[in-house]
Structure 1
Amino acid sequence: MNGAQQRPLRADAARNRARLLDAATEVFTTRGVGVPTEEIARTAGVGVGTLFRHFPTKEALLEAVMVRRLEAIAARTAELAADAEPAEAFFDAFRLVIDQSAGKNEFNRALAAAGVDAHESLQQSSAAIREQLARLLAGAQEAGAVRRDLELPELIALLVGTTATMEQLGADTAARERIFDVVFAGLRPPTH
C-alpha cells in the first residue's frame, strides 16, 4: 500500500464515501445491482466524479457495500453476545444475519460476472462473523436454548438456506415470520 492509501480520508471525503455507501446499499438492495452508478451518485447527492474517486468501478462499489455489511453484522453480533442473554443473543443474531443478507447473492453474481473474486476482501469480516456465531451457538447450547448436536457448519448452512428462502418470499412479512418460527423450532432442543 502506498502512503496516499494509508492516510485517513479528510472529513468531507469520509462523509461523501459514507453517503455513497449508504445510497448504494439502499439502491442496490431495493432496485437491484443493475442501477447505473450515476443514479447512486445522484441519490447520495454527489457528482459521479466523486463516486469514481472513491470507487473506480461499479464492482469496487458493490464489493465495498458487501464488506461494510459484513463489518456491521460482525459488530452487531459482538454487541448481542456481550449484551443479551445467550438464547436471545443467538436467535437475534440469526435473524440479523438473514435480514442483512438481502441482495447478497445478487451482489456475488454481479461481481463474479465481472470477473471479481471478492472472497479475499470479505474473508476478514466473514471470519469475524463465524467466530461470533460459534460463540453465540455455544452460549445458547450451554443455556439449553439450542440443540447440542448442531455444529457451526450446519448453522452456516441453515443461514444460507434461510437467506435463499427469504429472497423467494420477498416482502411478505407474515410468511417470513412463519419461516423464522419453523427454523427456530428446529434449532431448539427436542422435547420428549
Structure 2
Amino acid sequence: MRADARKNRDHLLAVASEAIAEQGVDGSMRDIARRAGVGLATLLRHFPTREALLDALLRTSFDELTVKAAELEASSSPEDALVSWLRDCVTWTTTYRGVTVLMAAAIEDPESALHASCVTLRAAGARLLARAQAAGAARTDIDGADLFALVAALAWLGDQPSLAPGADRLFGVVASAILTSAGRDGQPHDRMGES
C-alpha cells in the first residue's frame, strides 16, 4: 500500500475508533466519514462494509491482547497471568459498546471477517487457563470457551449504566470463582479488585 493511502486508511481508523467508542459498534458509517472529512464513498472504498471496518479496527486490539497473553505467560505466575489477561480483555471490550455481541457472533461464523482474530484471542486465553489449571491454581471444570463467555458477561456489565459501578467488584467475584484455593495465597486475590 502506498504511503499516502496508508496514511488515509490510518486516519479513517483513528476517527472510526473514536466514533465507535462513543456510539458503539452500530455507529453510523456516514457519521464516521463526515468526522474524517471524507465522503461516504471514500470510506466505503477503504472499508466496503461495517464488518470490514470493525475487522480492521478490532484485529489490532485482538492481536495486542494475544501478544499480551504470551508475555504474561512468560513473565507471571499462572494465576496472575490469567487474572491480568482477563482484566485486560474485559477493560478492552468495554471500550466499544456492543463489541461482545459482535465477537460472540464472529466466533461462531467461520465466514466472518472477525472469526480468525476471535478464535486466536480465545485460544490465547485458553492457554493461560490451561497453564493455571495445570498448576492447580484454576478450577478444571471450565475451558477457553467458558472463559471467553465470562469476558463477554463481565464486559456486558460494564456497558450497563446501572450495573457499571459494581462491575469491578463482580470482576473480583468471578476471578475468585475461577481460581482454586491453591491459586489464592492472598496476593492474586488482593489484585483481583484493582482497576
By how many angstroms is 1:136 displaced? 0.5
2:173 is the counterpart of 1:152: no
Within-5 A mapping of 1:1-192 = 9-44=1-36, 46-48=37-39, 49-102=41-94, 103=97, 104-105=99-100, 119-169=111-161, 172=164, 174-190=165-181
* Alpha-carbon RMSD: 3.1
1:169/1:176 contact within 8 Å kept: no
1:40-81 CA-to-partner distances (Å, cap 9, x unmatched) read 23544x523542331134443234334343333223323322
Q: May I ask how many residue pairs the two structures share in their alignment?
A: 176
1:81/1:132 contact within 8 Å kept: no
By how many angstroms is 1:90 displaced? 0.8
1:75-117 CA-to-partner distances (Å, cap 9, x unmatched) read 33233223333222111111122122232046579x99xxxx7
TM-score, L = length of structure 2: 0.72
Unmatched runs of 5 consecutive residues or more in structure 1: 1-8
Alignment partners' CA distance in 1, 2:65 and 2:150 = 17
Alignment partners' CA distance in 2, 1:118 and 1:148 = 28
1:67/1:121 contact within 8 Å kept: no
Change in Cα spacing, 1:171 to 1:80, as seen in structure 2 (3 Å) is farther
SS in 2 for 1:149: coil
TM-score, L = length of structure 1: 0.73
2:137/2:179 contact within 8 Å kept: yes
One-letter amino acid of the counterpart of residue 31, structure 1: Q
1:63/1:118 contact within 8 Å kept: no
Alignment partners' CA distance in 2, 1:153 and 1:161 = 12
Alignment partners' CA distance in 1, 2:142 and 2:27 = 40
Q: Which contiguous aligned blocks of 4+ residues in structure 1 show a shift greater than 6 angstroms? A: none
By how many angstroms is 1:19 displaced? 2.4
Change in Cα spacing, 1:11 to 1:86, as seen in structure 2 (3 Å) is farther
SS in 1 for 2:113: helix
Change in Cα spacing, 1:21 to 1:75, as seen in structure 2 (3 Å) is farther
2:103/2:118 contact within 8 Å kept: no
One-letter amino acid of the counterpart of residue 145, structure 2: P
Alignment partners' CA distance in 2, 1:32 and 1:127 = 22
SS in 1 for 2:4: helix
